[in-house]
Structures are given as C-alpha cells and as structure tokens.
C-alpha cells in the first residue's frame, strides 16, 4: 500500500525537477567551498568572500582540518607541525640560499610560524637534506635557481642569504662569488622593488676586514684588502650593502642589513673547512687539529638559533641601518702557550709544535680570550694533537662584535651559551661521521664543496 503511494508520487511530472532542486539546495547548504550557507543573502552563482567561508567553520574545526591537511604529505610523510595563520597574516617569504646552513634553520622557523616559504638556491653549498623535512608541504616551495639570473616572483619579504660563506668555498670561484653578491643582490633588489617586498641582506663581519678597531661597531668602516684572496667575498658584501642603501634612497625599497659574525651549529657543511667544523671533525676522528698561523687570531662564535632570532627581529623591526649579529664571547684559535711551570699546575695536553709548550686545561685560571682548540678537545674528549700550518693570507687577526645596536634596537642578544651550542654541533657532526664513515677535513686552499680529496697540507 505504502509502496504504491510512493510509486504514484514518483510518477508525477513535477517530481523529477523538484527532486533535483532539493538535491542542489541541500548540496549548497552543506558545502562551504561552493559558497553555500543559509540566510546570509548569498545566492546561487554568487561568489562568496573568504571571510564568509571562515565564519562558517568554527576555529577548532578549521585548525583540525588545516593541521591535518598540512601535517601529512601525499605520500604519508609527516611534516613538523606548523602554526595556522589567517591569510591576512600569512606572508610569502623568499629565502635565497635557503638550503644552506643558516638558511635552512631560518626556513624552519618561518615555516613553523605558518608562512609560505619559497627557497631559491643553486645548491652550490646547500644540501637538500637540510630542507627535506618540508619538501611536499603545501606552504613550501623549492626553486633550483641561481640568483645571478633574473626571476619573477611575487613575495612580501626577501631574506637574501645566497652566497657561499666559508673561505675555501667562496675562494674556489672568486668571479662567481663576486657575481653572486653583486648581480645576485641587484636581481633581488629589483624583485623587492617590483613586488614591494622588504629585503634583508646577510652581510658579514668580513666587511670590517682585518679590523684596527676592537670590538667592531657598525660605525667602523673597515680595513679590507681590495685585491686579496678574501676580497671576492668581503668587497662583494660591501658593495651589496651599498646597493641596498642606494635602492632604499632612490627607489624606496625597505631594506635591512645584518652583519653576521662567525656562526655554527647543526647542518654546517662538514667539508666547509671552517674552524668549527674542522676542529670538531678532526677531534672526533683523533686527527690532528690544524691551526693556521700562530693561532693568536681571535673569533667570536654564535649559535645558529640565536642568529635566526636576530635576523627575524631585524626583518620585522623598524631599524634599517646595519646591525651586528654575533656572540661577543671571544676565543683565540690556538692552544695557548704555557710556561714550563704550567706543567706542574695544569694537566698536560699533547702539543706537537713545541716541547716547552703546554695547552691550558679546562677551566684555566684566567682565560680571556679563551682557547678554542682546547675547548673542542675537552668537549669531544679527544686526544688529537695540534698541527701548526702556515697562515692564510689576510686572515683577520681579531674579531668580536659590539652588539649594543642589536640590544637597543632589536632587544636581541645571544641566549645559547657557546658550550651548549657546541655540544649540539658535536652530536650533529658525530652523526654525519657515522653516516659517511670518514670525513676528510678541508684545508685552507680554495675548494669545491663536496670535493673529496685532501687539500691544504694534510
């Protein structure tokens, strides 16, 4: 009986159009993405604003949906968790050199903050493994590209890091290093001008050259040899700074300039030949710790997380003149000589270059600046001996940042003690060693990244 009534109902000529209409209305009611929502005046065919869509979904449901969408890639790989930002706050941020050591840590922070990050890198010293955690994420894009070539993108901020930072690597192809800092920076400034993006340049303490002023303030103009082996990097960065301020005054580009002092941490290139990577991998493998020159030269080392914090504060703050970012804790490179009497006062370390020289044990009675080689030997519990090698040309004799500007203008100062940072760097290099079996330290000669053969006096 009931079946008969339904069948005759369905046979009515108006049944099909009415049924189709009901289905369409129900579908529009239930589907936020097509703009369906009841009672707000949005009709069939009307476009719906982003605000209207957002008001349909409670914030909890929205977070859950977006988080789920972004924490898993199509192949099921888990991504690190990212914050969910409304469109109005999510910036498109370009990081040139983003697969390098510093760049990849910066990318991590920006991604976790919920921004859309584009990495532009020619992979000269960058490594895909540094950014592998983001590949496939909807907020992340990797473009293999050389900054020396023009590129058209639409972005809100540019962190311009692209440039090799280690002396053997930037000296490998000095002409290319100059082009990267000059043509590359010009291209990025053009992009910043066209897309009205704010741009931050990672300059360097090398703009102070072999400084005659100590510690170095931003107002110091430097002492650079314009034709020496470091000039391709030093002068490249100096003219890059000049370009930044020319574009600021002539084309109203918003610019920021960070003068970065020696930075270390996980993801440093194991073959970059720098003092931190070399000493750690030498000490971990029981190889000689190589010291260039008399070792009395000083450096100040900051942990990479502190640097990234400083770069982000600088980018997002109002201060547009150059700012030193570094840790003022100063070290001499070499194990300090100790008079014979020290033997009776301190534990003896092997120090091959002089029978009457002993390294100070840790902690020494008075140590300012401290000895970097001793610190690395102590932290790695290594028995490596010290090998003295010829000095490299134009090696700056002293370097320590005055960070008054960063403190007062950015409210920034380093937070990670050097020893704590070094412990993290040591476990990173230990893992790299485990994976590759052996790492041959890179010498002071110009070297192509990833070149395996030994160079420079080993």
Residue nearest to ligand NAD (CB): 100
Query: For this structure, is 233 an active site residue?
Result: yes
Q: 265, exposed or middle or buried, with CB in 10 Å at 0-12, 13-18, 19+?
A: buried
Under 8 Å between Cβ of 415 and 246: no
Q: Does 324 bind ligand UDP (CB under 6 A)?
A: no
- The window from 135-143, 289-297, 320-328, 350-358 that contacts ligand UDP (CB under 6 A) reads 289-297
Catalytic residue, from 233, 247, 331, 428: name it: 233
| Closer residue to ligand UDP in complex, CB, 312/325 | 325
Which of 216, 206, 157, 210 has its CA nearest to residue 181? Answer: 206
| Closer residue to ligand UDP in complex, CB, 166/384 | 166
Number of residues that bind ligand NAD (CB under 6 A): 29
Q: Does 292 bind ligand UDP (CB under 6 A)?
A: yes
Among residue numbers 241 through 270, which ones bind ligand NAD (CB under 6 A)? 260, 262-263, 269
Among residue numbers 328 through 347, which ones bind ligand UDP (CB under 6 A)? 333
Q: Minimum distance from CB of 278 to ligand UDP (Å)?
A: 4
| Closer residue to ligand NAD in complex, CB, 168/184 | 184
| Closer residue to ligand UDP in complex, CB, 79/301 | 301
What are 175-183's contacts with CB under 8 Å, separation 24+?
A: 175/232, 176/148, 177/232, 177/233, 177/236, 178/232, 178/235, 178/236, 179/148, 180/147, 180/148, 180/236, 181/233, 181/236, 181/237, 181/239, 181/240, 182/236, 182/239, 182/240, 182/243, 183/147, 183/148
H-type alpha helices, 155-219: 167-170, 174-195
- The window from 6-14, 115-123, 330-338, 367-375 that contacts ligand NAD (CB under 6 A) reads 115-123
Q: Does 137 bind ligand UDP (CB under 6 A)?
A: no
What are 13-19's contacts with CB under 8 Å, separation 24+?
A: none
* Beta strands, E only, 161-277: 198-204, 255-260, 263-264
Choose the one of ligand UDP, ligand NAD, none that binds residue 184, judging by a C-beta under 5 to 8 angstroms depending on kind.
Answer: ligand NAD
Q: What is the largest CA-CA distance in the chain?
A: 115
- The window from 72-80, 145-153, 273-281, 313-321 that contacts ligand UDP (CB under 6 A) reads 273-281
Interacting residue with ligand UDP among 171, 290, 302, 359 (CB under 6 A): 290
Which two structure tokens, joined as six digits, stand for 430? Answer: 């230990």
Site string for ligand NAD, 140-179 (x = CB under 6 A): ------xxx------------xxxxx--------------
Which of 319, 327, 322, 369 has its CA nearest to residue 207? Answer: 322
Q: Does 297 bind ligand UDP (CB under 6 A)?
A: yes
Count other Cβ atoms within 10 Å, centred on residue 2. Answer: 6
Which two structure tokens, joined as six digits, stand for 48? Answer: 């719906």
Choose the one of ligand NAD, ligand UDP, none that binds residue 292, judging by a C-beta under 5 to 8 angstroms depending on kind.
Answer: ligand UDP
| Closer residue to ligand NAD in complex, CB, 36/97 | 97
Q: Does 395 bind ligand UDP (CB under 6 A)?
A: yes
- The window from 19-27, 116-124, 207-215, 355-363 that contacts ligand NAD (CB under 6 A) reads 116-124
Under 8 Å between Cβ of 327 and 303: yes
* 42 vs 351: CA distance, rounded Å: 81
Which two structure tokens, joined as six digits, stand for 86? Answer: 């409304």
Choose the one of ligand NAD, ligand UDP, none that binds residue 405, judging by a C-beta under 5 to 8 angstroms depending on kind.
Answer: none
| Closer residue to ligand NAD in complex, CB, 258/410 | 258
| Closer residue to ligand NAD in complex, CB, 101/428 | 101
Query: Using alpha carbons only, what angle is made at residue 107 by residues 106 and 109, rounded to the nearest 5 degrees?
Result: 65
Which two structure tokens, joined as six digits, stand for 138? Answer: 């909807």
Q: Minimum distance from CB of 408 to ligand UDP (Å)?
A: 26
Determine phi and psi for 449, rounding to 5 degrees: -60, 145
The catalytic site residues sit at 233
**Which residues sit at the interface with ligand UDP, rule CB under 6 A?**
166-167, 262, 274-275, 278, 290-292, 297, 299, 333, 392, 395
**Which residues sit at the interface with ligand NAD, rule CB under 6 A?**
96-97, 99-103, 121-126, 146-148, 161-165, 180, 184, 202, 204, 260, 262-263, 269
């Amino acid at each position: 009986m009931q079946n008969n009534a339904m069948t005759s109902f369905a046979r009515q000529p108006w049944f099909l159009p009415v049924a189709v209409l009901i289905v369409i209305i129900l579908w529009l009611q239930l589907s936020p993405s097509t703009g369906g929502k009841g009672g707000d005046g949005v009709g069939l065919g009307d476009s719906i604003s982003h605000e209207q869509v957002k008001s349909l979904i409670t914030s909890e449901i929205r977070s859950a949906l977006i988080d789920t969408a972004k924490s898993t890639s199509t192949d099921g790989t888990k991504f690190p968790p990212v914050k969910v930002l409304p469109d109005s706050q999510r910036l498109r941020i370009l990081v040139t050199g983003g697969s390098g050591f510093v760049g990849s840590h910066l990318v991590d922070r920006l991604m976790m903050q919920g921004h859309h990050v584009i990495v532009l890198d020619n992979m000269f010293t960058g490594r895909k493994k540094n950014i592998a955690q983001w590949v496939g994420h909807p907020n992340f894009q990797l473009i293999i590209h050389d900054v020396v070539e023009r590129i058209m993108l639409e972005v809100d901020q540019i962190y311009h890091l692209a440039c090799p930072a280690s002396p053997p690597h930037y000296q490998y192809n000095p002409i290319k290093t100059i082009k990267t800092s000059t043509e590359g920076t010009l291209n990025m400034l053009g992009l910043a001008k066209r897309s009205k993006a704010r741009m931050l340049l990672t300059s360097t303490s090398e703009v102070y050259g072999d400084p005659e002023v100590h510690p170095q303030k931003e107002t110091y103009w430097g002492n650079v040899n314009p034709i020496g082996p470091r000039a391709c990097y030093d002068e490249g960065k100096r003219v890059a700074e000049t370009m930044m301020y020319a574009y600021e005054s002539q084309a109203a580009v918003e610019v920021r300039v960070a003068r970065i002092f020696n930075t270390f941490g996980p993801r440093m290139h194991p073959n970059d030949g720098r003092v931190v990577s070399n000493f750690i991998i030498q000490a971990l493998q029981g190889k000689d710790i190589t010291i260039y020159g008399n070792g009395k030269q000083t450096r100040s080392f900051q942990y990479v997380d502190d640097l990234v914090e400083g770069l982000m504060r600088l980018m997002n703050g109002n201060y547009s003149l150059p700012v030193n970012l570094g840790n003022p804790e100063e070290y001499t490179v070499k194990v300090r000589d100790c008079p014979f009497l020290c033997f009776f006062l301190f534990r003896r370390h092997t120090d091959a270059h002089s029978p009457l020289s002993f390294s100070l044990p840790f902690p020494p009675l008075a140590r300012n600046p401290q000895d970097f080689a001793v610190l690395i030997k102590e932290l790695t519990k290594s028995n490596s001996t010290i090998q003295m090698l010829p000095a490299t040309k134009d090696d700056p004799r002293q370097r320590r940042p005055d960070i008054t500007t960063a403190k007062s203008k950015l409210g920034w100062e380093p937070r990670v003690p050097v020893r704590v940072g070094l412990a993290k760097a040591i476990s990173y290099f230990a893992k790299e060693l485990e994976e590759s079996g052996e790492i041959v330290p890179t010498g002071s000669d110009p070297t192509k990244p990833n070149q395996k053969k030994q160079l420079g006096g080993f």
